[in-house]
Amino acid sequence: MTAPRRARRPGLVLETDRSTPPMLFHHGEGFRLERLPVGSRVIYPPEPVEPLPDPDEAIRQALLHPIDSDPLPALLHPGMKLTIAFDDISLPLPKMRRPDIRQRVIEAVLDLAAEAGVDDVHLIAALALHRRMTEAELRHCLGDRIYDAFAPHGLLYNFDAEDPENLVHLGTTDRGEEVEISKRAAESDLLVYVNINLVAMDGGWKSTATGLASYRSLRHHHNVHTLQHTRSLMDLRRSALHQSNWRMGEVLRKAGVRIFQIETTLNNDTFPAPFDMLQKREWEWTARDRATYIATEAALRRAPRRLVRSIFHGIEAPHQMTSVQAGEVEAVHARTLEHVHAQQLVHVEGQTDVLTLGLPYICPYNVNSVMNPILVMCTGLGYFFNLYRNKPLVREGGVLIMSHPTPWEFHPVHHPSYIDFFEQVLAETTDPAEIEAKYEQAYATDEWYIHLYRTSYAYHGVHPFYMWYWGAHALEHLGGVIVVGGDPRAVRRLGFKPASTLRDALEMAEDVVGRDPSVTHLHAPPLLLAEVT
């Protein structure tokens, strides 16, 4: 166990002056260069942490020398039921180059299981109410060897939260929260959970209590009240969502579910060439970077949309592993967070009146898919707004300006209930509490959505609600949201204001926050976590 490595260069808060070049804004499947007002702050993420020199050896050491647990070989014996659950396609973003970290870890676990004579092994993609992973996605994530050994025998599969035969209710927390998870996982002699902690929100008890849980369980923390009291999603200490998961973890523990948690962290080396200039600081762009940007931007603008989408979703990040720790869930997770913070934490003094963001083409729920308007809302207000500890980057009553094309477009296979949510629910109201009270139950129990979730590649019927709730804290906190360069109809349907340029958006923001506001730009991705004092 080593102390977290430091980033090559720490994060930075830059104050712009007249010589500051235009800033890069991600803009869906494209980019914009925007000049910020003089005196604006730009928060840059730390540069990538040095990766582990020998990840396979690090994994082996973690399994043999776990935290607060017997070594994995001591937990394995012939005749036992072993279940290996792993994070689904929503992590990491973008998908990483092969071999995926999960493949490395699971191969190591399977080697130990084989040595111990364990032959009853199931592998489950812990996707909760996300869409099922395709064969190609599973192969990318686990490698062909694992896929070919397990999938044809029905031993590698996607979790099905709507299969009552394969769920078990293990009890309730002291707050009355029901805990219902995968029966196979719960009744195994050992559940090995393999995680990727891309951000501080991931991992811990959330892995099992969310990833392997049914709607009956999830509704206790994926709701408006909990999310409004989650400040932030990235701060375990102040997250009602995590506290609920932790209470559920206690129920799992008391019910005798034996978990061996394996958590991993990645550096934020996010974009391969030719997109690698996206993670450089603009004033350090070389002539070649500038030429690459201009050429890339022009090509993307001219290329057919379908091609552009396939280019972006074909990106494989050069992420590399910075840590791996295994053992008891909470102890492991505490160590994991240290590594996440070492990579992502940036200290920021004071809040801002206006926070600007450039939203990228991808979020956890549109891998190989369409970033629909609801996901734009969730990415901006759910994820990026929540990239803070202590207090939000933007002050209460402040304005969030996001740049994204926000097309009125949905993937009809992946997001069927999103389309209805957008057409029916948001046409009526954008108030999370009203939405929850009036519509959630009908969507959660809709037979067609359930059918598509179970048999096709659709997110569960209730999933768009969770996306909306994810932004509930931001909606309550902010005085306004403006989307630059978005489809005005779609933006208005979200309850936000459209603007054609950043300059227009800043002028509009002044109507809410007053003249000459302070402006801060969150220069992400690569992701960072702002410690706001």
Partner 1 sequence: MKALLFERDVPRFAAARIAGTLGGGRGARVGPLRLADVDPPVPPGEGWVRVRPRLAGICGSDLATIDARASRYFEPIVSFPFVPGHEVVGDLDDGTRVVLEPVLGCRARAIEPPCPACASGELGGCERVAFGHLAPGLQTGFCADTGGGWSTALIAHESQLHRVPEELSDEDAVLVEPAACAIHGALRVPDRSPTVAVIGAGTLGLLTIAALRRHRTPGTVIAAAKHPEQRRLAKELGADVVAEPAELLRAVRRVTGSLALGDGPVRSLTGGADAVVDCVGSATSLAAALAAVRPRGDVVLVGMAGEVRVDLTPLWHREVRLAGAYAYGTETVPGGGGPSRTARTFDLAFELVAEARLGRLVSARYPLDRFTEAVRHAADAGRRGAVKIAFDLRGEKERNR
- Per CB under 8 A, residues contacting partner 1 are 412-413, 416, 419-420, 423-424, 442, 446-448, 451-452, 456-458
The residue among 136 and 298 lying less far from partner 1, judged by its C-beta, is 136
Q: How far is the CB of 93 from partner 1 (least distance, A)?
A: 25
* Three-state DSSP state, 508: helix
Side-chain half-sphere exposure of 251, counting CA atoms within 13 A = 26
Given a contact cutoff of 8 angstroms between Cβ atoms, the answer to whether 471 and 430 are in contact is no
- Closer to partner 1 at the Cβ: 456 or 500? 456
* DSSP type of residue 161: T
H or E segment and range at residue 497: strand 497-499
Pick the closer one to partner 1 by CB: 457 or 466.
457
Calpha distance 277→282 (Å, rounded): 8
Q: Which is nearer to partner 1, 456 or 533 (CB)?
A: 456
- Give the nearest distance from C-beta 21 to partner 1 in angstroms: 43
In the complex, the smallest distance separating the C-beta of residue 436 from partner 1, rounded to whole angstroms, is: 17
* Nearest CB to partner 1, comparing residues 331 and 442: 442
Q: What is the 3-state secondary structure (H, E, C) of 231-287?
A: CCCCCHHHEHHHHHHHHHHHHHHHCCCCEEEEEEEECCCCCCCCHHHHHCCHHHCCH
Q: How far apart are CA 412 and CA 475, in angstroms?
A: 27
Q: How many whole angstroms separate alpha carbon 532 and alpha carbon 55?
A: 33
Share in percent of the chain as helix, strand, coil (round to 5): 40, 20, 40
Asked whether the beta carbons of 195 and 203 are under 8 A apart, the reply is yes
Least CB distance to partner 1 at residue 468 (A):
17
Measured CA to CA in angstroms, residue 392 lies from 29, 151, 379, 528 at distances of 27, 44, 15, 13
CB nearer to partner 1: pick between 416 and 486: 416
Judged by beta carbon, residue 132 or residue 206, the one nearer partner 1 is 132
Tell me how far, at minimum, the Cβ of 89 lies from partner 1, in Å.
18
The 3-state secondary structure of 287-353, one letter per residue? HHHHHHHHHHHHHHHHCCHHHHHHHHHCCCECCCEEEEEEECHHHHHHHHHHHHHHHHEEEECCCEE
> Residue 94: is the preceding peptide bond cis (ω within 30°)?
yes
Give the shortest CB-409-to-partner 1 separation in angstroms: 12
Least distance CB 408 / partner 1 (angstroms): 11
Instruction: Give the nearer residue to partner 1 in terms of CB position, either 115 or 423.
Output: 423
Closest approach of partner 1 to the CB of residue 472, in Å: 24
